[in-house]
C-alpha cells in the first residue's frame, strides 16, 4: 500500500506542476528557505492485516500519508491519502491542492491554495464514489508552525504544528521520488 500511495503521489506531481498561470501572479508568496525545498512526508500504516473467514486477504487496517512539496519560488503542493479497511470494505480518500506559500520569520508558513481535487472510493458502496474539483470555499488559507528535530540516528524531521504553542506535532521526513 505504501508503494501504491507513493506511486499515486508521484504520478500526480508529474502531471501537475504549478505555473504562474495556474496560481495567479498576485497571490502572496515568498522564496522558500533552502532547508524547506522539496518533498516532506508524514505517514503511518497499521501492522494489522485483515483476513476474511474464507482465508482471502482483505487488506491493511489503516494507512495515512500527508505530503507537502515546496519549490524555491514559493509554490507548494499538498497531498493527503488514506485508506481504511473494515473486513473487506475499503474506504480510500485522496486530497490534493496547490498554490503559493509564504514563509515567515517566526518559523511558520501560510499556504494559499489556488486549486485542488477530492476523491473518495468505497468498494462496498460504489454509488458513493466521487472525484471532483475543490470548490473555492474549500480552499482555505492556513498557517502552520514548524521546527526541525533530529532523532537519535541523525535523521532530521520537519515537525509541523497547527498552533504555535502546541506540544505535539506531526513529524515529516524528507523524501524524493
The predicted-structure confidence for 26-74, as pLDDT tens digits, reads as follows 689 999 999 999 999 998 655 456 666 777 776 666 789 999 999 999 9
Domain count, the chain: 1
- The rounded distance, in Å, linking the Cα atoms of 46 and 62 is 5
Q: Which three cell numbers stand for residue 6?
A: 507513493
Q: Which domain holds residue 29?
A: 2-175
Question: What is the C-alpha end-to-end distance of the chain, expressed in Å?
Answer: 16
User: Residue 175 and residue 132: Cα distance in Å, rounded?
Assistant: 28
Bridge partners (DSSP) of residue 167 are: none
pTM for this structure? 0.78
> Any residues with CB less than 8 A from the CB of 157 and at least 6 apart, and which?
148, 149, 150, 151, 171, 172, 173
pLDDT band at 2 (very low <50, low <70, confident <90, very high): very low
State how far the Cα of 1 lies from the Cα of 142, in Å rounded to an integer: 29
How many C-beta neighbours within 10 Å does residue 94 have? 20
Amino acid at each position: 500500500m505504501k508503494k501504491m500511495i507513493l506511486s499515486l503521489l508521484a504520478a500526480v506531481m508529474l502531471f501537475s506542476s504549478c505555473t504562474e498561470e495556474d496560481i495567479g501572479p498576485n497571490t502572496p508568496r515568498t522564496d522558500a528557505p533552502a532547508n524547506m525545498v522539496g518533498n516532506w512526508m508524514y505517514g503511518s500504516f497499521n501492522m494489522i492485516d485483515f483476513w476474511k473467514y474464507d482465508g482471502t486477504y482483505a487488506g491493511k487496517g489503516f494507512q495515512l500519508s500527508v505530503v507537502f512539496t515546496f519549490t524555491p519560488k514559493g509554490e507548494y503542493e499538498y497531498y493527503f491519502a488514506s485508506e481504511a479497511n473494515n473486513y473487506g470494505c475499503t474506504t480510500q480518500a485522496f486530497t490534493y491542492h496547490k498554490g503559493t506559500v509564504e514563509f515567515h520569520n517566526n518559523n511558520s508558513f501560510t499556504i494559499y491554495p489556488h486549486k485542488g481535487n477530492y476523491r473518495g472510493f468505497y468498494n462496498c458502496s460504489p454509488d458513493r464514489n466521487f472525484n471532483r474539483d475543490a470548490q473555492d470555499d474549500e480552499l482555505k488559507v492556513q498557517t502552520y508552525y514548524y521546527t526541525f528535530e533530529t532523532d537519535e540516528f541523525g535523521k532530521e524531521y520537519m515537525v509541523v504544528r497547527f498552533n504555535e504553542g502546541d506540544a505535539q506535532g506531526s513529524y515529516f521526513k524528507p523524501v524524493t521520488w
